Amino acid sequence: MRQLSETDAAYIYSDSAHANSNVTLLHIYDQSTAPGGVVRFKQILAHVESRLNLLPKFREKIHRVPLDLDYPYWVEDDNFNLEYHVRHIALPKPGDWRQFCIQSSRIHARPLDLQRPLWEMYVIEGLDSFLDLPAGSFAVLLKIHHAAIDVAHGNEITNLLHDLSPISEAPAPAAPWFPEAAPGNLHLFWLAGLNLATFPLRMAQPLSSSWTSIKATVQTFAGEMMGLPHAFPMTRFNTEVSPQRVFETRRFALDDFKSIRALAPNATVNDVVLAVCAGGLRQYLQKQDELPEQSLLAAAPIAVQSEYESDLRNSYSWVRVALGTDIADPVKRLKAIQTASSSSAIMAQALSARELSHLAQQAPALAIAATSKMLRSASALMGNWVPLANCAITNVPGSRAPLYLQGAKLTYLSAIMPISDGMGLVFSVTGYNDTIVVSFTACEEQLPDPEVLAQCLRDSFQEYLALAQRAIAHKPRAPRKSRSVKKAAAVA
């Protein structure tokens, strides 16, 4: 039994009838690389069963404290049934990409059963009319609640389910598993009282040693995330969302993004991704005659190096970045984004490094994230939305090495992200095997034509790529040395 953190509990509390916190990972495989060229559903079922011991949350469900007097707990599900969670479906004819996006969006939008472990897996066949896919390709859709997955380090589940070689050993027989009994209400009341009584003691040391950081965090939260000092224009994506979702995606070569970096000094691949998304969003709103005169803002994660107790992992601090949608020139827009993101990174490093990493392990600073969700829920009840930004652009980690599932090679990886009232558009960026996949999730009422926004993203990318190729073609070459100069240099 483990208690949820403040952030994970906030994801549970924030679920509503029209907006849940599901994260859906989409995988498409080429089964021609598998032994015999075929992967059967029962093989995938046995494969998942053999690795359940490496994914304990796949057998755990939420156990709430009566009256919600304390954060819920993860407890083992004594009625766990793997075949309930792993399902087998097929697309109807003709089985094209549009049908796949619609089906995936519908599965993603359905809430998970909170009385069971918070995940579902769908093996999807019938991908007969996909372009650039080998015959017999199939997809695996993994839907999991945000409380059970850390998206910033979400490649953990992907790595555990896959192998680095098409030749994999037969799944070992599942180890015996006996679930622990869930605690009774009296035990939960006692734990809640203990946590409440010891909270000041647990907070005393971090508060005394890091008051400056906590104060800076509160100021940053109020300033950067609640939208008080920096007003930004509202769009169709900053209203209440419906229960229906849409999803689309476009795939690009990583090397092309690297070549586009040369258009702006010191630009990174992340800057280029932001610029491509900004250009696509600008084009789409122009087509609707809804482009604001001011720049739109995106909530984006900035990597911050942690130094606490020799922890060398990258953590992430969310900041708001101006997308430069008010700038028509794409190169100037990229330069503006590079300037904005670099200054945000400096700010995030100053506010979120060692001290905030320490606080995150204790309890205090992350409570602000839970508070933000409660404040947004309260503002919704009052009819007064305060959106964090016009959209969010988040990174879903992938793998640079090819991955395999029972010998079938993973050819495509992307994600469908949760949206909420006031934040009806989220871009997810996934890197896998020298490709970058830019996807977006939106409310169907706010974005009834997702294929149009997807084409705007493609057009924005092609515009940047053409400018980068033109700059390379017109780059002056270094003057060639004359023969006499070369001879003199050789003599010297």
CB 127 within 8 A of CB 139: yes
406 lies in some domain: no
Question: What does the pLDDT look like over 17-32, one tens digit per residue?
Answer: 899 999 999 999 999 9
- pLDDT at residue 125 is higher than 70: yes
CATH of the domain at 460: 3.30.559
Q: If pLDDT is split at 50, 70 and 90, which confidence band does 43 have?
A: very high
In 3-state terms, what secondary structure has residue 122?
strand
Torsion sign, CA atoms 347, 353, 357, 363:
negative
- pLDDT at residue 357 is higher than 70: no
- pLDDT for 399 equals 86
Residue 136 sits in the same domain as residue 226: no
Total domain count for the chain? 2
Q: If pLDDT is split at 50, 70 and 90, which confidence band does 135 have?
A: confident
CB 298 within 8 A of CB 274: yes
204 lies in some domain: no
Most confident of 65-69, 425-429, 476-480: 425-429
Question: What does the pLDDT look like over 90-117, one tens digit per residue?
Answer: 999 899 999 999 999 999 999 999 999 9
Residue 248 sits in the same domain as residue 374: yes
- pLDDT for 224 equals 46
Q: If pLDDT is split at 50, 70 and 90, which confidence band does 151 have?
A: low
Residue 279 sits in the same domain as residue 232: yes
Question: What does the pLDDT look like over 157-184, one tens digit per residue?
Answer: 887 889 999 987 777 777 777 777 777 7
pLDDT, averaged across the chain: 80
Q: If pLDDT is split at 50, 70 and 90, which confidence band does 201 have?
A: low
- pLDDT for 145 equals 94
Residue 216 sits in the same domain as residue 151: no
Most confident of 241-245, 369-373, 392-396: 241-245
Residue 175 sits in the same domain as residue 234: no
- pLDDT for 212 equals 45
More confident: 68 or 45: 45
- pLDDT at residue 369 is higher than 90: no
Residue 98 sits in the same domain as residue 152: yes
- pLDDT for 307 equals 39
340 lies in some domain: yes
Query: Cα–Cα distances in Å, from 368 out to 89, 333, 372, 404?
Result: 41, 33, 6, 40
3-state helix, strand, coil in the chain (%, to 5): 45, 20, 35
Residue 322 sits in the same domain as residue 430: yes
418 lies in some domain: no
Q: If pLDDT is split at 50, 70 and 90, which confidence band does 485 have?
A: very low
Percent of the chain with pLDDT over 70: 75
- pLDDT for 185 equals 73
- pLDDT at residue 225 is higher than 50: no
More confident: 491 or 263: 263
Query: Cα–Cα distances in Å, from 471 out to 264, 415, 464?
Result: 11, 33, 11
Rounded to whole angstroms, how far apart are CA atoms 327 and 98? 32
Residue 175 sits in the same domain as residue 285: no
Residue 347 sits in the same domain as residue 260: yes
Q: If pLDDT is split at 50, 70 and 90, which confidence band does 430 have?
A: very high
- pLDDT for 396 equals 85
- pLDDT at residue 380 is higher than 70: no
- pLDDT at residue 59 is higher than 50: yes
Strand order in the sheet with 391-396: 245-253, 435-443, 425-432, 391-396, 297-305, 314-322
- pLDDT for 203 equals 54
283 lies in some domain: yes
Rounded to whole angstroms, how far apart are CA atoms 357 and 366? 10
More confident: 284 or 366: 284
CATH of the domain at 56: 3.30.559.10
480 lies in some domain: no
Residue 125 sits in the same domain as residue 238: no
Residue 389 sits in the same domain as residue 432: yes
- pLDDT for 386 equals 67
Neighbours of 379 (CB within 10 A): 16
- pLDDT for 183 equals 76
More confident: 125 or 352: 125
Question: What does the pLDDT look like over 285-306, one tens digit per residue?
Answer: 999 999 999 999 999 876 544 4
Q: Which domain holds residue 368?
A: 211-393+423-473
DSSP states of 25-54: EEEEEEGGGSGGG---HHHHHHHHHHTGGG
Provide the whole-model pTM. Answer: 0.82
In 3-state terms, what secondary structure has residue 276?
helix
More confident: 76 or 398: 76
Residue 46 sits in the same domain as residue 163: yes
